[in-house]
Structure formats: C-alpha cells, structure tokens
Amino acid sequence: MKRILTLFLLLFSSSVFSESYSCTMNLSQFGSSGTEIQVFKRDGKSFIGTSKNRKSYPVQVLFEDKNDIILYELGDSLDNKTILITIISKKYLKFIQDFMISTLVPTDKVKKAIGDCLVSN
C-alpha cells in the first residue's frame, strides 16, 4: 500500500508542476501583421520562456494562486534597467504583458500585449 501511495504521489506531483502555457498575441495591436507565440514552461519554482525571437530565458514567479500567475523578468544593460511583467489568468486563459524601462521612453512607444493562452501538462 505504501508503494502504491508513493507512486501515486510522484506521478501526481510531477504532473501538477509541469504545466506549460502557450500564449498568442495578435501583432496588429503593435501596428504589425501576424501573431507571436510565447511559451512558458514550469521549471521547478520558476518558468522557462521561449518565443521566436528569444530561444530560452528564465522567468520568475512573483505571485501564484489558483486563478493567476504573475511572472517577471528583469533586464539589465549598460544604459537602462527593465522589467517585463506577464500576468496569466488560469481561470480565463488570457494573458497581459507590460514592460517598464528606467530610461525616459515616450509612453506611446511602450505598449501592453494582450492575448490568449492554452495550458498543457
């Protein structure tokens, strides 16, 4: 009985923590055509993000509950500091991204990304 319980817990815990969110946004919201897909795959207590332009990058969890995940990514270059916040609604399977930068950039140049997500285990 202990073996069965242990096996069940191992299988259950690995499936709970291995989810992946595939999120798409329509690029018309940025004045371009087409769509972009970003994938966020759980990797322990954080996520690994991938997209067409960025092969693989770490994304940290700021907050998570049964309805939402808030992810963040810090950037650091010689002339500015950045933070990218991604909020994924587990309940509605939607996401929004907002980008903040330490240098003065006109607000019309920095736009929020909004789209839909699919979840897989």
User: Which pLDDT does position 32 carry in this prediction?
Assistant: 87
Length of the chain (residues):
121
15 falls within a domain: no
Enclosing domain of residue 108: 20-120
User: Which pLDDT does position 35 carry in this prediction?
Assistant: 93
50-88: pLDDT as tens digits:
998 888 999 999 999 999 999 999 988 767 788 999 999
User: Which pLDDT does position 111 carry in this prediction?
Assistant: 74
What total of structural domains would you count in the chain?
1
111 falls within a domain: yes
Task: Please state, in angstroms and rounded to a whole number, the distance separating the CA atoms of residues 113 and 79.
Answer: 24
Q: Among positive and negative, which fits the CA dihedral 10, 11, 16, 19?
A: positive
The pTM for the full model equals 0.78
Which burial class, exposed, middle or buried, applies to 114 when counting CB atoms under 10 A from its CB (0-12, 13-18, 19+)? middle
Inter-residue contact 52 to 36 (CB < 8 Å)? yes
Query: Could you tell me which residues are beta bridge partners of residue 59?
Result: 47
**Where residue 81 sits, what CATH number does that domain have?**
2.40.128
